[in-house]
Amino acid sequence: MGARAVRSGDVRSRIAGPGGASTNSQPATWVGALKLALGVLLLVFGARLWRRRPKDASEAQLPKWMATIDRLTPLKVFGLAVALAALNAKNAPLTIAAGASIASAGLSVGEQIASLAIFVLIGSLGLPAPLGVFLMGVLFFVIGLKLLGDGIAVLTS
């Protein structure tokens, strides 16, 4: 029984082990080729995202009504933001449902406020999404360069 346990342990170590990813304390050739391929893929994807951004301000023109926002007072901007959020057809049912769920949960006032804050935070995550997409493109490009260098280093050594 002891020998059988050792054999099953050997099988488990082969299945969960590195799978031939290194030979003689050096990465295997296929690891370098994989890193090279992934690096090229991420470089292409990052460059594609970079090329799709507007080249100058004239290509990314705002609608006329948005151009007037620069001249609004902070109070008017706040009112505009509330109006745009309230007039958005998908926001009202979601907010009403969230309010009803929070109110009917039997929570204390502090817990209700915390729940509302979490709902607002999650609902607002879409606002920084364009910045996230831009930064993701830059990140893909940088990681692609790193993987490309790693792949070349493995294949040339």
Cα separation, 20 vs 26, in Å, equals: 11
For all residues of the chain together, what is the average pLDDT? 77
Given a cut of 60, is residue 111 above it in pLDDT?
yes
Share of the chain above pLDDT 70, in %: 77
70-86 confidence digits (pLDDT tens)? 788 888 888 888 888 77
10-53 confidence digits (pLDDT tens)? 544 443 344 554 566 676 787 788 888 888 888 888 888 788 77
CB 39 within 8 A of CB 148: yes
Give kind and range of the element (H or E) at residue 65: helix 64-67
CA dihedral 17, 18, 20, 25 (to 10 degrees): -120
**Largest Cα–Cα separation, the chain:** 83
What pLDDT does 146 receive?
Answer: 93
Mean pLDDT of 133-156: 90
What is the model's pTM? 0.39
